[in-house]
Structure 1
Amino acid sequence: MDHPVWRLLDELEHTLRQAELWQSTPVPVEALRSTQPFCCDTLRFEQWLQFVFVVKMRALLQSGTALPANMAIAPMAEVSLAQHPQLAVLLNVLQRLDLAVSE
């Protein structure tokens, strides 16, 4: 798919893999049923990015459904991944995603 957000999602996946934050084993299905923002009670932020955010955004793009307005994921990354050595690279991708989706 040739959509700017799709390319940014691919870049996010690549960046998470490079930062060793992409996990090869799925999370338990129960963890995905959280009603908390970012599934903060059941998942680490990077797990939420991988198993919820990327999956849902790709599904929205494939179906042609409108993307969420005024998305702001980068601030959560600043807090959740503050100590990660790849924070700057991750923030760069997430800030561009926030901007692309909110336009």
Structure 2
Amino acid sequence: MRDRALDLISLIEMEMRQHGLWSDVEPSAEALASTQPFAVDTLDFEQWVQFIYLPKLTVLIQVGNVPHNVSVCPMAEEAWRHHGDKVMVLLDRIADLDELLSGKRVRE
């Protein structure tokens, strides 16, 4: 499971890069310190995925402290709705990761 989760994280990064959703510029420390869900008050969703979610998830998986209640795909679908069908593979990879970690797959 660990290797599959890390593979999915890499695939998510690759898809985000392909669709221009990956940034070379890290947000400020203040923006990253948000306590709001998905850091909605300081970050765009893709920034939260890149700079908070994926790095923290990678560390948790590597140390064997895998979260079991994960449901990020519905937020990804909402945040990237304006991209249409071109992000379907990306959304599927996020749903795959949700399902692997929590046993639940929620996709519209």
TM over 0.5: yes
Conserved 8 A contact 1:78-1:87: no
Conserved 8 A contact 2:60-2:67: no
Structure 2 residue aligned with 1:28: 28
Conserved 8 A contact 1:70-1:101: yes
Measured after TM superposition, the shift of residue 25 of structure 1 is: 1.1
Query: Could you tell me how far apart the structure 1 residues matched to 2:102 and 2:3 are?
Result: 14
Structure 1 residue aligned with 2:71: 72
Structure 1 residue aligned with 2:45: 45
Deviations 1:59-83 (A, max 9, x none): 1122222x22221101001111101
Alignment of 1:1-103 (within 5 A): 3-65=3-65, 67-85=66-84, 86-103=86-103
Query: Could you tell me how far apart the structure 1 residues matched to 2:62 and 2:21 are?
Result: 25
TM-score (norm 1): 0.92
Measured after TM superposition, the shift of residue 87 of structure 1 is: 2.5
Residue segments in structure 1 that go unaligned for 5+ positions in a row: none
Structure 1 residue aligned with 2:106: none
Conserved 8 A contact 1:74-1:94: yes
Residue segments in structure 2 that go unaligned for 5+ positions in a row: 104-108
Aligned CA RMSD, in angstroms, stands at 1.2
Query: Could you tell me how far apart the structure 2 residues matched to 1:5 and 1:94 are?
Result: 10
TM-score (norm 2): 0.88
1:24 aligns to what SS in structure 2?
Answer: coil
How many pairs align?
101
